[in-house]
Amino acid sequence: MSMLQEEVSTTLYFDRTFDCEAAKISPGEYYYTDKDMVIVTVLGSCVSACIRDTVTGIGGMNHFMLPDSAAADKDSPVSESMRYGTYAMEVLINQLLRNGARRENLEAKIFGGGNVLKSFTTINVGDRNAIFVRKFLKEERIRVTSEDLLDIYPRKVYYFPKTGRVLVKKLKNMHNDTLVKREEAYASKLKTSDVGGEIDLF
Amino acid sequence: MANPNTKFLVVDDFSTMRRIVRNLLKELGYTNVDEAEDGAIALGKLKGGGFEFVVSDWNMPNMDGLTLLQHIRADPELAKLPVLMVTAEAKKENIIAAAQAGANGYVVKPFTAATLDEKLSKIFEKLEKAGA
């Protein structure tokens, strides 16, 4: 059985605009740090939760979408999409907690869920992702201090976990279809992989 | 399927995940389910008695799932309780540590209902054999 796991981004570079270390994350990845750096991503219909401990300044960002599970199953609390979304959120939050963050100090800023994938005609994937992330954080009682969700434009997000500062640029003119292609590839990967891990050692 | 009245304790610090596991168990026919949000609370409930199966996350504040498992195995009253680890920790060393501490099974998130069912059946089967 193939296994689709959230991966820590390994794309690091020095950002000249902000004069600091930067990590770029792609769909299905996350990154966390306690250093003074910037985490960057470009979102179409995917969502990112930027979560940090307001006391210690450790924070991180994920980037995911819900798999398009069978229609009948879609909004069931136990559907594949709900499980995958919960998992994607948990992986980031667990890393923060493991590295000293405290749950009661966490604040979240959430972005994305734009209706940018024209080929997804069934229902708006961006809406589902946005609704999921809002609902998850509410149920887990993690404060949302800022959000920029939905609409029809892709977004470039810069997140500075140390301070919690965020810059969001709406990309109103796309010069190519790289973003859409990348999200479609991610969506089809989610569809063809069994979104379930299994270990059969014992 | 084992006795549908089997009393489960689901241990996870995310209420969203506790609800998912509870609903999956319900789909499999098990409705006698209680919840705990970390290992310490779980241990208190288990010591109160009556539980027959534990499904536990690993990474939790206060007391993590591995420590909970170690406490269960060290307590003569609880030592035989079946424990299924359901966790996002997929590293080999985690799995080995859980096996060494006496976990009855290990499921890596994000898991499917079928996987959970299969693991539960396997554990119940082994328990029946051991009891027979």
pLDDT-derived band at A3 (thresholds 50, 70, 90) equals very low
Query: Is some CB atom of chain A closer than 8 A to the CB atom of B7?
Result: no
Q: B27 by DSSP, 3-state: which? A: helix
Q: A163 by DSSP, 3-state: which? A: coil
β-pairing, A155-160 vs A143-149, is unpaired
Torsion of CA A71, A75, A78, A83, to 10 degrees: 90
Max CA distance (Å), chain B = 39
pTM beyond cutoff 0.90: no
The span from the CA of A154 to the CA of A169, in Å, is 9
Bridge partners of A48, per DSSP, are A111
Stretch B80-108: mean pLDDT: 91
- Residues A56-80: pLDDT tens digits? 999 999 999 888 765 545 556 667 7
Six-digit token pair at A72?
Answer: 């009948």
Strands of the A11-15 sheet, one edge to the other: A11-15, A20-24, A38-43, A155-160, A165-170
Q: Do A77 and B20 touch (CB under 8 A)?
A: yes
Q: Do A77 and B99 touch (CB under 8 A)?
A: no
Q: Do B112 and A103 touch (CB under 8 A)?
A: no
Considering CB atoms only, which of B24, B111, B113 is closest to A197?
Answer: B111
Dump the DSSP string for A181-194.
HHHHHHHHHHHHS-
Looking at CA atoms only, how far is residue B114 from chain A in angstroms? Answer: 10
Cα–Cα distances (Å) from A19 to A10, A14, A38, A158, in that order, read 19, 7, 10, 13
Considering CB atoms only, which of A91, A194, A202 is closest to B88?
Answer: A91
Neighbours of A174 (CB within 10 A): 13
Considering CB atoms only, which of B61, B90, B103 is closest to A197?
Answer: B90
pLDDT-derived band at A174 (thresholds 50, 70, 90) equals confident
Query: With contacts defined as CB-CB under 8 Å, which chain B residues touch A194?
Result: 112
What's residue A1's pLDDT? 33
| Single-letter amino acid, residue A145 | T
Tell me which chain B residue has its CA closest to the CA of residue A5. Answer: B110
Stretch B64-79: mean pLDDT: 96
- Residues A104-125: pLDDT tens digits? 999 999 999 998 866 555 567 8
pLDDT-derived band at A2 (thresholds 50, 70, 90) equals very low
Looking at CA atoms only, how far is residue A177 from chain B in angstroms? Answer: 30
Look up A46 and say whether it is catalytic: yes
Catalytic residue among A39, A46, A66, A110: A46
Q: B102 by DSSP, 3-state: which? A: coil
Q: What are the φ and ψ backbone dihedral angles of B113, each rounded to 5 degrees?
A: -60, -40
Identify the CA nearest to A89 among candidates A99, A81, A100: A81
Question: A3, A81, A87, A141: best mutation site toward chain B, by most B Cβ within 10 Å?
Answer: A87
Query: Is some CB atom of chain B closer than 8 A to the CB atom of A87?
Result: yes
Query: Is some CB atom of chain B closer than 8 A to the CB atom of A132?
Result: no
Identify the CA nearest to A80 among candidates A197, A196, A198: A196
Q: Do B14 and A103 touch (CB under 8 A)?
A: no
